[in-house]
């Protein structure tokens, strides 16, 4: 009988503690909400993410303060956070932007930069970058990223920021860049891409003076494998100055053209890719 009464009193005790905890939590959340509503921005902290440095913290802070007024010293609830985020996302070098304010009044801006993969110089001298998403990015004098350059007989031009690539030729150039990414041999050997008068894509090599003609980005693995055969089996026998052009655009062939007035070499042959 006494045991039953003790159990009932313990339940009552636990209930009182639970109610007290709930009331305390409610009061705490109310105080936090009131503080958050009245909180003044005491600092603007900008973080730039990504491997490029097209923009820096000063650029972002300057844009925010010039377009929306100085944020430090203003109530956070009066700062148009969503509008600022959208304005940052409209910058051609920015892929995403997020803004958060902590309970101490620090407004934190996180900006993710776009990553470019290719610099294009068309036949009229107009330059632009292409990012990983296939968007066109304007060139800036402030920063020159270390990416491959493609030039020559390229007609596609630049209209406005974030336009997509239109021509198959430039899409092929991007495809080549993405294909060799992470390949130690080709990342080291390819220093430039060039489009000749016949609209064939050429690889400009780091080692050797030959024009390495691949045509298009179709069957790219197959073409690069034949260039490896040239470097492995042919160049060591003839030297790296014997040929002016090495053409692998045609199936099952490595066509080597000697320099000067010499004839087409007998190495224009069928290649057994199984060997």
3-state secondary structure the chain: CHHHHHHHHHHHHHHHHHHHHHHHHHHHHHHHHHHHHHCECCEEEEEEECCCCCCCHHHHHHHHHHHHCCCCCCEHHHCCHHHHHHHHHCCCCEEEEEEEECCCCEEEEEEEECCEEEEEECCCCCEEEEECCCEEECCCCCCCCCCEEEEECCCCCCCCCCCECCCHHHHHHHHHHHHHCCCHHHHHHEEEEEECCCCCEEEEECCCCCEEEEECCCCHHHHHHHHHHHHHHHHHHHCCCCEEEEECCCCCEEEEEECCCCCECCCCEECCCCC
Half-sphere exposure of 227 (CA within 13 A, CB side): 27
Tens digit of pLDDT for each residue in 101-137? Answer: 888 889 999 999 999 999 999 999 999 999 999 999 9
**What confidence tier does 63 reach under pLDDT thresholds 50, 70, 90?**
very high
Q: What is the mean pLDDT of the segment spanning 69-95? A: 93
Q: How confident is the model at residue 13 (pLDDT cuts 50, 70, 90)?
A: low
Confidence (pLDDT) at 17: 60
Residue 29 in this model has a pLDDT that exceeds 60: no
- Can you tell me the distance from the alpha carbon of 46 to that of 60, in angstroms, rounded to the nearest whole number? 7
- For position 20, what pLDDT does the model report? 54
Contact at 8 Å (CB) between 39 and 101? yes
Does the structure show a pLDDT above 70 at 10? no
Q: pLDDT band at 16, cuts 50/70/90?
A: low
Examine the pLDDT at 266 and tell me if it is beyond 50.
no
- Give the pLDDT score at 36: 54
pLDDT band for position 24 (cuts 50, 70, 90): low
Look at residue 149 and tell me whether its pLDDT is greater than 80: yes
Q: For the chain, what percent of residues have pLDDT higher than 90?
A: 61
Q: For residue 76, give both structure tokens.
A: 């956070």
Q: Is the pLDDT of residue 38 over 70?
A: yes
pLDDT band at 1 (very low <50, low <70, confident <90, very high): very low
Within 8 A by CB and 6+ apart from 145, the residues are 52, 116, 119, 129
Find the mean pLDDT for residues 159-175.
96
For range 231-247, the mean pLDDT: 86
Exposure string of 7-28, with b = 16+ CB inside 10 Å and e = fewer, is eeeeeeeeeeeeeeeeeeeeee
pLDDT at 270: 45
Q: Quote the mean pLDDT of the chain.
A: 85
Cα separation, 260 vs 30, whole angstroms: 86
Q: How confident is the model at residue 236 (pLDDT cuts 50, 70, 90)?
A: confident
Structure confidence at residue 259 (pLDDT): 77
């Amino acid at each position: 009988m006494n045991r039953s009464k003790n159990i009932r009193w313990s339940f009552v005790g636990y209930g009182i503690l639970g109610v007290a905890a709930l009331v305390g939590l409610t009061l705490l959340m109310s105080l936090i909400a009131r503080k958050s509503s009245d909180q003044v921005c005491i600092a603007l902290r900008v973080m730039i993410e990504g491997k490029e440095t097209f923009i820096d913290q000063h650029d972002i802070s300057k844009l925010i303060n010039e377009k929306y007024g100085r944020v430090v010293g203003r109530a956070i609830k009066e700062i148009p956070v969503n509008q600022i985020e959208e304005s940052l996302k409209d910058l051609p070098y920015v892929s995403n932007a997020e803004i958060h304010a902590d309970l101490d009044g620090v407004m934190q801006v996180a900006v993710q930069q776009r990553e470019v993969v290719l610099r294009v110089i068309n036949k009229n001298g107009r330059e632009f970058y292409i990012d990983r998403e296939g968007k066109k990015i304007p060139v800036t004098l402030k920063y020159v990223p270390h990416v491959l350059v493609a030039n020559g007989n390229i007609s596609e031009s630049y209209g406005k920021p974030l336009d997509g690539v239109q021509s198959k030729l430039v899409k092929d150039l991007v495809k080549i860049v993405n294909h060799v990414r992470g390949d130690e041999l080709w990342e080291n050997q390819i220093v430039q891409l060039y489009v000749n008068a016949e609209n064939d894509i050429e690889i400009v090599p780091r080692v050797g003076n030959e024009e390495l003609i691949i045509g298009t980005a179709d069957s790219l693995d197959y073409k690069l494998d034949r260039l490896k055969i040239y470097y492995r089996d042919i160049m060591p026998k003839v030297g790296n100055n014997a040929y002016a052009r090495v053409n692998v655009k045609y199936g099952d062939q490595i066509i080597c053209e000697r320099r000067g007035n010499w004839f087409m070499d007998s190495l224009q042959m069928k290649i057994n890719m199984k060997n």
